[in-house]
Structure 1
Amino acid sequence: MNDTAPSPFAEQVLPPWRRAVLKVGSSLLAADGGGLTPRFALGLAQFVSANLLAGREVVIVSSGAVAAGRAIVPRAAEASATMAARQALAALGQAQLIALWQRFFERPVAQVLLTHDDLRNRRRYLNARATLNELLALGALPVVNENDTVSVDELKLGDNDNLAAIVAALVDADALFIATDIDGLYTADPRRDPQARPVDEVVELTAAVMAMAGGSGSTVGTGGMHTKLQAAAKAGAAGIDTFLFNGRSGDVVRGLAQGRLRGTRLHAGRSRIAARKYWLRHAPVEPGAILVDAGAARALREKGASLLPGGVVDALGEFRRGDMIEVRMDGEGGQACVARGISQYSAVDVRRIGRRHTREIQTILGYTYGDNVIHRDDLVLLP
């Protein structure tokens, strides 16, 4: 699809959102003959700027480092099929990629390089989330890409589509926008089937819907429509709607900045909060628990508060930062389980800061992961 043809998709009103992830693929950034071009990136940056001015928050997940690296060392393109060569090209191109995005914004652009291992490991997951949330709080624009220079399996097809879905869940986004080089999902590949019809909305990602997706249509990208639907499934499991649109169409991107979508909306199965609480309620817990006093238990139940160190009596077991553990109230009748959640501190640290004020954490431990032992977003009450 070119950037001047009208979109065949019906116009929809975007639902309200506060925080979103925008995924931009290599096909929108790579220049003919190698390197990067601002041709389509400019319109996407204007979409981001419009929402930042409206008080919303955006995280960009951007491909394009390998394509940028090819322009720096053209002779490497011949060997770029090898993993080591692609990793080297990614290392060369990362600075160019960040420079491309920085030129569009007055606010600082922050490079965040992740691998899937960072997001599978619960402690590294918490660290990544804390970093991204702090960058957003500082008013910076995070640009996330894979740390391709050290990853091995992470350069597989569609990886940044799936990475974008994982980042959306990581930062508790309300929406995942995927900018692609076609208008949205069709009933078949429109490049091959002239009878393919646009699909404006997908309520449920069934096998029949997945069968509509084709392969990668770009020589510079690593993903196709199938991986975008996989990403939508991951985002939907976290309660996040996904929106596919043509990032090459100026009209579509301008409409998106005004709250209008011409593309495909893939609905989440449940609300974001419900999905998060369901996961917290059913994820396996580690051995051990945090014992709290009656006042802390009451604050958790009646006020929806986070667990602060002042209400902690003791820690049982030897759990680590990022582990899912039980919260029990220490009373005359024994220990009653009142909640479960992800601990920001290890059992050793919890014992040291228990009964102390939050402002003392840094002094006692020599570091801090925040004021909360368990943040209310990482905690679910039990009946």
Structure 2
Amino acid sequence: MDNTHWKRIVIKCGSALIAPEKNGCSSHYLLSIAHFILRCRERGIDVVLVSSGSVAAGAHLFNEEEQTLAVKKAMAAAGQTEMMATWDKLFDFATAQVLLTHADLRNRDRYENIRSTIDTLVNNGILPIVNENDTITTDKLKVGDNDNLSAMVAAAFDADALIICSDVDGLYDKNPHKHDDAKLLSWVTNIDESIYAIAGDAVSSVGTGGMKTKIQAAEKATSHGIDTFIVNGFTELSFNQLLQGKNPGTHFQPLAKPLSDHQHWMTHTTRAQGELVVEDHFDMQDEEHNEPLTGAALKEVKGQFNVGDTVLVRKDDGTKIAKARSNYSSCLLSFIAEQENPEYADEFQKTTGPILSENNIAILEES
């Protein structure tokens, strides 16, 4: 493992490390992480910290037996200040709070603003501490777990490495909590269905993520060319080995040909608001057509979306072809798709412009 080229890293710390007993924040497990961050900065490596823990940190302040959504949001609001204060006292340099929702990340202008803000903080020697804004998020707006959030932040930050802290040493071939003969997978070169099958659906008793969300995060990060590690965040040895250029857990190797920034953002950060269904024989990359999608090729429109929203383009058999920003609303596209005369659909499109623009398309699979 060669970490000498690292200039920027993102480290993700979960709720179980922040508030292991749900009785407020504890610095017990955070000291070694803080020391690791300090030593990285001393080596000239810029660091962004993605920290869960606001709900777990605020849980002890509430007496309600039933933890409704409103109570959890209140826990997040109260716990966020305690979590930030805990981190802040571990450093002798300035820190900054950055609270995000998925709506911030999937909007390109706001995404660029996030990148600019983090860059400015880092360039001024300030440690950005990122968390999802649980106080205001809804199912439609939330990322859902900070593993995936850390990968999105790593991509926006153009990080060289993403380090995800876990309660085990890395990815095992079976659940190490249930099987004594479980073996650690030190290297993963390709994240496929077999890797997801190994990860299973295990979830921390304190946090919202599990090994599956960590694999999802690794897939996002490696496709952007980012070295990704799952390490045991409960032991200082993990961080000492990373600093020594050793692999203390599971190293997910980046793709040899990473996606471009915009392609990665379209593929892994934007969320499809609807679907455009085309015939099974459709080929978006057919060079005979001047446009990637014509009205005549559109079979069905699913969901409701506005101009500029991201949509999934798929074949009638379910094969996913691409994610793209639509230049039409779902209402207008439904009208086009319902026309029995394909020539009318294409003539209409010539007047109003293309359904999709080539610079706003991310191909998911060859058609």
Offset of residue 275 of structure 1: 3.6
Instruction: Give the secondary structure class of the aligned counterpart of 1:260.
Output: coil
Q: Which consecutive aligned stretches of 4+ in structure 1 deviate over 6 angstroms post-superposition?
A: 154-157
Q: Out of 190-199 and 95-104, give the one that drifted further.
A: 190-199
Structure 2 length as normaliser, TM-score? Answer: 0.69
Q: Distance in 2 between matches of 1:130 and 1:50?
A: 25
Aligned residue identity for 1:265: H
Partner of 1:67: 56
The C-alpha deviation readout for 1:213-240, integer Å capped at 9, x for no partner, is: 0333421111110100000011112111
C-alpha RMSD over aligned residues = 2.7
SS for the counterpart of 1:87 is helix
Give CA-to-partner distance per residue, 1:257-286, whole Å, 9 cap, x none: 3332210000121355x643866999xxxx
Aligned to 1:172: 158
TM-superposed deviation, 1:210: 1.2
Residues 173 and 184 in structure 2, CA contact (< 8 A), matched pair in contact too: yes
The number of residues matched between the two structures is: 271
Q: Distance in 2 between matches of 1:263 and 1:44?
A: 15
Contact 2:62–2:75 at 8 Å: present in 1 too?
no
**Contact preservation (8 Å) 1:110, 1:140:** yes
Aligned equivalents of 1:153 and 1:206: distance in 2? Answer: 27
1:158 Cα deviation after fit: 5.8
Distance 1:49 1:281, change over 3 A: closer
1:241 to 208, 223, 227: 227
5+ long unaligned stretches in structure 2: 268-367
What residue is the counterpart of 1:215 in the other structure? Answer: 201
Gap change, CA 1:90 and 1:279, over 3 Å in 2: closer
2:31 is matched with which residue?
42
- 1:372 equivalent in structure 2: none
1:295-324 per-position Cα deviation (integer Å, ceiling 9, x unaligned): xxxxxxxxxxxxxxxxxxxxxxxxxxxxxx
**Cross-structure match for 2:6:** 17
Q: TM-score, normalised by structure 1?
A: 0.66
**Equivalent position SS for 1:182:** coil
| Amino acid of the structure 2 residue aligned with 1:235 | A
CA positional deviation for 1:35: 1.0
Describe the SS at the equivalent of 1:197.
coil
Cα distance, 1:200–1:158 mapped onto 2, change above 3 Å = farther
**Which consecutive unaligned segments of at least 5 residues does structure 1 have?**
1-11, 283-383
Identity of aligned residues (%): 44
AA matched with 1:79 = E
Question: What residue identity is the alignment partner of 1:74?
Answer: F
- 1:256 aligned counterpart, secondary structure: helix
Matched, 1:96 2:85: no
What is the CA–CA distance in structure 2 between the aligned matches of 1:188 and 1:101, rounded to whole Å? 34
The answer to whether 1:79 aligns with 2:61 is no
Counterpart code for 2:261: R
1:236/1:270 contact within 8 Å kept? no
Please tell me the residue identity of whatever aligns with 1:126: E
Q: Cα 1:112–1:92, aligned 2, differ >3 Å: closer, same or farther?
A: same
Residue 177 of structure 2 is aligned to residue 191 of structure 1: yes
In 1, distance between residues paired with 2:57 and 2:265? Answer: 41
Decide whether the 8 Å contact of 2:102 with 2:143 is kept in 1: no
